[in-house]
Structure 1
């Protein structure tokens, strides 16, 4: 009779933190096809250990030596050295003056996590206010020379405007774009218009660059910007400027043209409620 493999018969899961039990020469604790412990997640031990090391390094502002990190994570020193060298090679850690500190890849992950958390907060808040106000809501910023609609809150009965023409290329034709462009200096405005020339989308859209520049100059500081059927026939929109450090930002609303009478009152409420809607989220860092 064939003997079971050493180590209690576990097989097919060499780096798994779970071990199966054997019975009659069969690996009864593992899935027959994958070798994964039945009903339990596959946990890769080496990944777990590397993540513990990253956490330990992050806990030390000025870094820590390998021996200390091994002790804090409960790892054998040779294992810690191998994993630390791998993390250095992949750009997650850097060794300087005998200690390990976080490097570019770790900082990139942290920054991305922060952006995702802020975006989640914005979306959840917009969704709540969409239900309160009963209208589609938008949050947008001017990021690296382009219009970026960061979040939209709408529903089947109160749908957002369909982006039939790229919002980034048609800032001159919608309230979001007009509001963001009005917050830029003259040089930045002209640069944007040079890259995205004015082109009428409806009979109500501004016709040319001089007309657009005049309109932007006439927009009052921190005043709502309103457009009537300039982007889409049958739709009116309003956008209010938001103070967000050095970033141009806006909250906006859209309505069917038959509800135009509601537009300004809702826009003024958006301006007044902006701190409650957006909270203390930091938009000065690119979304």
Structure 2
């Protein structure tokens, strides 16, 4: 069972190792890791067998190997959890993702004049992985690596709009909805209504909700290997309603080209 990746191949599609040029046991191991991540990081063998269609002995053999390598750990309750060695891999991949994104963010800055960012949804938080600053003397600056709660940011809203409402409610219950400004949405029902509006419009807006005087426009990167969004942010006096109509198509175009680049392991040139 090959893992689902940036190729968009659905899980469960039977593809032989000979056809893909891959190693079947390796594909199966990564598929199990992704299924564990989708399940919240901890599963039992029977759950993995039911979801993957693989026989229990095969799964048990693969999990023993992953445990021995430190990528999976067995819990006292006999369930399996993602292991700490994956953290190093994830951090390295996030840094590379930011590197690949920077030429596309630079294109955004050139087209809009505003600071461009890329952020990922990491657990219950948004983490900024890349930024290219505006050339204006008055510009927005967000430190790469900064983590924020998603409900008050454009990138966070864009990312949460792709999740089922039940998952969003559960996340908000865990994090709370503290007000960063008097414009921050702090009620779950109002926030879910905002996400519905984002799905209809195709983009998210942070209108003075994270910082007074700052407006941000954000869209998700389609088919990204991990949930990602790009945005531009600037003074509310420049990122106006009128400017929004011009900037959003640019955001979507750059997001689409970045998606293609990521699907080619960063090899696609910036057009």
Give the 3-state SS of the residue equivalent to 2:262 in structure 1.
coil
Asked if 1:151 is matched to 2:136, the reply is no
Deviation at 1:232, TM superposition (A): 1.2
Pairing partner for 2:196 from 205, 213, 217:
217
Instruction: Tell me which residue corresponds to 2:177.
Output: 198
4+ residue runs over 3 A deviation: 107-118
Against the structure 1 CA distance between its residues 218 and 275, is the aligned structure 2 distance closer, same or farther, given a 3 Å change threshold?
A: closer
- Of residues 247, 253, 267, the one that matches 1:266 is 247
Q: CA RMSD in A?
A: 3.4
- In structure 2, the partner of 1:186 is 165
SS of the aligned residue for 1:126 comes to: helix
For normalisation by structure 2, the TM-score amounts to 0.55
TM normalised by structure 1 equals 0.53
When you count helix as a share of all residues, which structure comes out higher? 2
Q: Which has the larger radius of gyration?
A: 1
Q: 1:257 aligns with which of 224, 228, 236?
A: 236
State the distance in 1 between where 2:133 and 2:225 align.
28
Written as runs of structure 1 = structure 2, the 5 A alignment for 1:117-128 is 117-128=96-107
1:122-157 CA-partner distances (Å, limit 9, x unpaired): 123323432343211111121333212221110462
| d(CA) in 2 for partners of 1:116, 1:201 | 28
- Which residue is 2:148 aligned to? 168
How far is the alpha carbon of 1:272 from its aligned partner? Answer: 2.3
Measured after TM superposition, the shift of residue 110 of structure 1 is 7.9
SS at match of 1:200: coil
CA distance in 2, matches of 1:172, 1:180: 10
Q: Is the 8 A contact 1:122 1:278 kept in 2?
A: no
**Paired residues of 2:124 and 2:175 also in contact (CA < 8 A):** no
1:222–1:113: structure 2 CA closer, same or farther, 3 Å change rule? Answer: same
Q: Distance in 2 between matches of 1:196 and 1:240?
A: 23
SS in 1 for 2:121: strand
Q: Measure the CA separation in 1 of the matches of 2:92 and 2:176.
A: 36
| Residue 281 of structure 1: how far off its partner (Å) | 0.9
Change (3 A) 1:126 1:210: same
